[in-house]
Chain A
Amino acid sequence: MDLVPKMKNVSVLGAAGKMGSGILVLLSFEMAKLKIGKKSNEQFVLNAIDVSQPALVNLLGYVRSQLLKHAEKNIVELRDWYADKENLVDNEDVINQFVEDVMAMIQTSTRIETTYESELIFEAIKEDKDLKVKLFSQIKQNNPNAWFLTNTSSIPIGEIEKEAGLNGNIVGYHFYNPPVIQKLLEIIKCDNTGDELNEFSIALAKSMRKIIVPSKDVAGFIGNGHFMRDALYALNQAQKLAETEGWAKAFFMIDTISRDLLVRPMGIFQLIDYVGVDVTKFILASMQPSFPNETLSHDVLNELFDREVKGGQYADGSQKDGVFKYQKGRITHVYDFGAGKYVSKEDIEMDCAAKMGELPTLKIYWKTVVRDKNKFEYLEKFFKELHQIDSVGANLAVAYGQNSKAIGQMLVDTEVAASADDVNTVLETGFFHAYGPINDYF
């Protein structure tokens, strides 16, 4: 498929955000392939649009650094692209020229009107349906043929399409954080999404070398469909434990169980901190209307938000305080929800270990297992042992694994995911799990 006609003028809304900036970088790589790699004579413009002018200035620095890394990694190919430029002799010459050439295609703007010239509009603003609908309908009125690719992780595409009157010109294009590195892309077609747009979105994703998983247009899709319910389960389990153990220990134990005994890269509350308590709350709220029979909210989460215990990241990527406090990425303090203050991890660690009781003798760590050739052998042994132990920790872990599996199965049963493989792919690639939730371990 010839991508050029649609790629000549592209806009990214929310370009200075965490997701938007990554999407912008990926698009700049794609434009570079077309403009420099294929030596196109067309003019290409990539509009980076955001409400914050200072953030856009920072964004350009980020894009430049990413382009430099990309060029360094792909120097063998770039020398070929610039083979006819006699003045570019050293790798350094070629790399610098590439960065300049791509930067020259990027224009920053704080004005929504900039999108009126664009064939493609990528959107990565905050998770607020009304705002998305308002912007899209305004653009649609001024740019009737534009295609919209929204990075929403939870809002049904069909609802946006209908409310903004997009006439099928929208597809869900859900990247995972950080978009430049994360291979997973959930593509969500709504009932009206046009075939041409759908084909284009798949061709572009392939060119970006993404792992594509299609999701049905159901709020939360596959990724958040699992994550949000997993998080609610964890909050409920912690709440029960808190009755006897207090909140600090309850948070810490459930987090430890979901990381070490489920062999995941992060515990569930650390993941909530990473995503942000606020963002988690918004996602749940945006999913709730689609599931009137389920409670997709949690008092504890809402209360954390009200108390400004929010998590998320600073601009430099370091973690803000949330359920935990961190130092160099390691948990140092735990929030005691009951007392409204942080307690040192060291003060509760031993008690938690005693409470959890016996654990498998086979120690396996996500970091080493995830890339091991004999991964499945280790996991099978580990979980077999886990099932045989009757301790608080082991029982909580088994129940946690079973619940995660049930969520995954529900996503298949309700056809949100086309198959168990798709659910597992999303969790393994999007969330870096060592194994998918639909498995024989639980």
Chain B
Amino acid sequence: MKALRKKVYMVAGYNTVSMGTGRKEFHPKKPRPDLEHYIKEAGQATLKMIGGAENVDEGVIGNFMASRFNKQANLPAFLPMIDEGLKHKPAISVEGACASGGLALASGIKSILAETADVVLALGFEVQNTMKAMYGADVLAGAGWMKTRKDGHAYFFPGVFSNRAGAYYEKFGKEKTREAMAKWYCNAIENARLCETAQEFHNKSKDLEGTAKMPLNPKKFVDHLNYSDCSKVSDGASAIAIVSEEGLKNVGIDPKDAVEVVGIGQAASDITKEPENMTCLTTMKAAAAKAMEMAGITVDQIGTVEVHDCFSIAGIMGAEAIGFAEEGKGVDFVLEGHTSRCGKVPFNTTGGLIGWGHPTGATGVHQAVTIWEQLTGKAGDAQIEMKEDRPYGMTVNMGGDDKSLVAIVYKRGE
């Protein structure tokens, strides 16, 4: 499909707090809100903005590993828990590791296109602080091929992206790459400080660069990454309504307060295969290219991006995969400040996965909510200025090591 057959909008986005280390109210040994709380909070907030549950035709829930983090499955049946008005309405859940949220969006978009619904409530969540990090790593390793777990690192995914970072250092120079990764971290925290739901919102450190440049400690962690290069372990949920033109009228929202989905690119690659190129996210590249092709735009028209920086190196390689820089030049792109808040294309304006947080199954939806906020002027303190020649926003959500990808291009509704 080269173009969307009908108009698809997103409206009424909502993010809960991303809860975990870094938040003042977080204490690992004290009781915390459960998944029911997060689903309800996000779902009810979106419903309120669209005039209630009666306006909803379908629901989709994105989640990665509630089955292990919370020993909970059969997630579609959590939809009617949000509001009694959703009882007996169609609900499904989707899973694609950390791209589960993106897949929830894709599923909702398809329902609109298939004309089975005019209003879809899309929600993503993850509650993963139920276990300590070394056990959580076992669960998250499920985003990779289980047959490689034994030979993998204790912290499996940091290990995977550490290997990618190592290959990148070797090919393009370690010093400059570490500089760019430090800059990525500083940008992430500085942006997160502007968004009160961000996990790093309370970060008051005066020396972010110092934190990012701590010596690597392969004995306790991985060879080529620091903790500051990694996304957070988070609890949280995000929700947004995906609607048709008809649906937009039904919920009574001005198109200017909505974003229009103008392109979507989904791509998967074989989980049992090693990456064909360690220094390039080829699947992400394919998904981003498809989304831009469908939107009929070039990379130069994109004004802001929410990219899947599960690790700082993935953020940098993401900028390359989308097409902002050639392979190996992403570090310059970042160091020259183009991805910073005041740069050419502000990336991850509320902190991304490193600064805002990474409740894995919610992340894809969280990205869409952030783009919706930025394009419709609802981002509060984190608001960036959208330039006329760059009116498009983009989200890129990745599951595993470049395996399940969802890229979406948005513009403000007219």
Contacts and interface: CB of A to CB of B under 8 A. Distances in A.
Contacts of A91: 134-135, 137-138, 154
Contact of B134 (A77, A86, A95): A95
A86 B153 CA distance: 15
A339 interface: no
B150 interface: yes
B132 interface: yes
Contacts of A86: 150
Interface string B353-382: 000000000000000000000000000000
A90 B135 CA distance: 8
Give the secondary structure class of A's interface.
helix
B134 A72 contact: yes
Interface in A297-337: none
Contact of A76 (B132, B141, B153): B153
Given A89-B149, A90-B149, A79 B154 contact: yes
B220 interface: yes
A89 B154 contact: no
A226 B153 CA distance: 47
Nearest to B132: A72
B135 A76 contact: no
A89 B219 CA distance: 20
A193 B155 CA distance: 46
Interface string B255-279: 0000000000000000000000000
B324 interface: no
A243 to B, nearest CB: 47
B219 A77 contact: yes
A191 interface: no
Give the secondary structure class of B's interface.
loop
A130 interface: no
Nearest to B146: A89
A222 B149 CA distance: 51
B153 A90 contact: no
B14 to A, nearest CB: 35
B69 interface: no
A279 interface: no
A418 interface: no
Contacts of B221: 76
A75 B154 contact: yes
A90 to B, nearest CB: 4
Interface string A79-114: 100000010111110010000000000000000000
A94 to B, nearest CB: 8
Contacts of A90: 138, 141, 149
Interface in B124-180: 132, 134-135, 137-138, 141, 146, 149-150, 153-155
Contacts of A89: 146, 149-150
Contacts of A92: 135, 138
B150 to A, nearest CB: 5
A89 B150 CA distance: 5
Nearest to A71: B134
Range of interface residues on B (Cβ < 8 Å): 10 to 19
A90 B144 CA distance: 13
A76 B220 CA distance: 6
Interface residues of A, number: 13
Nearest to A72: B134
A364 B331 CA distance: 44
Contacts of B220: 76
A330 B221 CA distance: 37
A76 B153 CA distance: 7
B219 A76 contact: yes
A78 B155 CA distance: 12
A76 B154 contact: yes
Contacts of A76: 153-155, 219-221
A76 B141 CA distance: 15
A345 B149 CA distance: 58
Contacts of A79: 153-154
A91 B132 CA distance: 11
Contacts of B132: 72
B121 to A, nearest CB: 35
Contacts of A75: 134, 154
Contacts of B146: 89
A97 to B, nearest CB: 13
The residue among A86, A89, A90 with the most chain B CB atoms within 10 A of its own CB is A90
Interface string A338-370: 000000000000000000000000000000000
A76 B222 CA distance: 9
Contacts of B138: 90-92
The residue among A72, A76, A79, A86 with the most chain B CB atoms within 10 A of its own CB is A76
A88 B150 CA distance: 7
A20 to B, nearest CB: 28
A441 B235 CA distance: 50
B147 to A, nearest CB: 9
A344 B397 CA distance: 60
A86 B147 CA distance: 11
Nearest to B217: A76
The residue among B134, B153, B155 with the most chain A CB atoms within 10 A of its own CB is B134
Contacts of A78: 154
The residue among A86, A89, A91, A92 with the most chain B CB atoms within 10 A of its own CB is A91
Contacts of B141: 90
B140 to A, nearest CB: 11
A369 B154 CA distance: 35
A46 B356 CA distance: 49
Contacts of B153: 76, 79
A99 to B, nearest CB: 13
A402 to B, nearest CB: 38
Nearest to A88: B150
A88 B138 CA distance: 12
Interface in B222-259: none
A72 B154 CA distance: 10
Nearest to B149: A89
A77 B153 CA distance: 10
A91 B149 CA distance: 10
Contacts of B155: 76
Interface string B71-115: 000000000000000000000000000000000000000000000
A88 B151 CA distance: 11
A82 to B, nearest CB: 10
A435 B137 CA distance: 41
A86 B150 CA distance: 7
B112 to A, nearest CB: 40
Interface in B201-221: 219-221
9 residue pairs, one from A and one from B, having the closest CB atoms: A90-B138, A75-B154, A76-B154, A75-B134, A91-B134, A79-B154, A89-B150, A91-B138, A89-B149
27 contacts: A72-B132, A72-B134, A75-B134, A75-B154, A76-B153, A76-B154, A76-B155, A76-B219, A76-B220, A76-B221, A77-B219, A78-B154, A79-B153, A79-B154, A86-B150, A88-B150, A89-B149, A89-B150, A90-B138, A90-B141, A90-B149, A91-B134, A91-B135, A91-B137, A91-B138, A92-B138, A95-B134
Interface of A: 72, 75-79, 86, 88-92, 95
Given A76-B153, A88-B150, 4 more contacts: A76-B221, A79-B154, A89-B149, A90-B138
